[in-house]
């Protein structure tokens, strides 16, 4: 059977495997493809130069000498570099540990996003476990927080604020796709609207309290003070008095 243009051959068993797969569906070996740092075409991990543009491969490995355990399955993480992005990858569960500064760069830099997308594909989504698991940070060993990235992405990642982020298989692809589709801008707009709602509610409660004091013989709100509240409310609502 002839492989289509979107396929590569598994370096372990020789079967034709699509590059979207993280592992060979026949022998379960990792599909060892990397992104060319120049043109981002896929190439075999063992190749020294990109077959498409001739650029030298820059994805390196430091083996297991990092001695950092995977938060997901406790196997030792393996350091890999995709383009200019250094990550720690688990061969057992396919999870990824990304240091805080590297994750921030991925979120802000379009070139880094383009480089990691072909390597860390979406893949099949595993069923969500009923029991929530909190995982230890591989750096400080304290339990990490579970965070829905951007509050809207649906990718619930494990975050240690001081050290980095752990992502399950497919979550890096989900995060980068969310960013590329304008997700962070939508999240900021939603946050601004929530702050405005809180301000409106606080002002309404303050006006209500002033009226209650007036009903019970307290000091009546001055006309100037009432006008000031009205003007601020109008500003928050996007309206104005003529």
What does the mean pLDDT of the chain come to?
75
Task: Looking at the structure, tell me whether residues 176 and 101 fall in a common domain.
Answer: yes
- Number of neighbours of residue 15 by Cβ within 10 angstroms: 16
Greater pLDDT, 76 or 226: 76
Query: Is 3 within a domain?
Result: no
> Residue 177: its pLDDT value, please?
92
Task: Looking at the structure, tell me whether residues 163 and 192 fall in a common domain.
Answer: no
Task: Looking at the structure, tell me whether residues 67 and 177 fall in a common domain.
Answer: yes
Taking a C-beta distance cutoff of 8 angstroms, is the pair 108, 118 a contact?
no
213: left (phi over 0), alpha (psi -120 to 50) or beta: alpha
Give the pLDDT mean for 181-185.
87
Host domain of residue 177: 62-181
Query: Is 145 within a domain?
Result: yes
Is the predicted pLDDT of residue 29 greater than 80, yes or no? no
Tally of domains within the chain: 2
Task: Looking at the structure, tell me whether residues 229 and 165 fall in a common domain.
Answer: no
Task: Looking at the structure, tell me whether residues 106 and 210 fall in a common domain.
Answer: no
Query: Is 52 within a domain?
Result: no
- 8-state DSSP, 82: E
Is the predicted pLDDT of residue 23 greater than 60, yes or no? yes
Q: What is the value of pTM for the model shown?
A: 0.57
């Amino acid at each position: 059977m002839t492989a289509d243009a979107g396929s590569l051959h598994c370096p372990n068993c020789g079967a034709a495997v699509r590059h979207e797969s993280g592992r060979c569906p026949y022998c379960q070996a990792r599909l060892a493809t990397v992104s060319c740092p120049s043109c981002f075409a896929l190439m075999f991990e063992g190749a020294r130069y990109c077959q498409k543009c001739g650029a030298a491969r820059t994805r390196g490995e430091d083996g297991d000498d990092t001695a950092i355990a995977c938060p997901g399955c406790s196997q030792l993480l393996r350091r890999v570099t995709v383009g200019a992005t250094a990550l720690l990858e688990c061969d057992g569960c396919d999870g990824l540990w990304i240091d805080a500064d590297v994750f921030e760069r991925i979120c802000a830099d379009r070139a880094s996003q383009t480089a990691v997308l072909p390597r860390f594909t979406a893949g099949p989504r595993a069923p969500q476990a009923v029991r929530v698991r909190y995982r230890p940070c591989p750096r400080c060993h304290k339990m990490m927080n579970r965070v829905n990235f951007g509050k809207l992405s649906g990718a619930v990642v494990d975050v240690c604020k001081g050290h980095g982020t752990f992502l399950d298989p497919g979550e890096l692809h989900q995060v980068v796709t969310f960013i590329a589709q304008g997700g962070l801008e939508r999240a900021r707009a939603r946050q601004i609207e929530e702050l405005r709602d809180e301000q409106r509610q606080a002002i309404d409660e303050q006006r209500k309290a002033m009226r209650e004091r007036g009903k019970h013989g307290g000091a009546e709100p001055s006309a100037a003070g009432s006008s000031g509240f009205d003007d601020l409310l109008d500003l928050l609502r996007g309206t104005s008095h003529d």
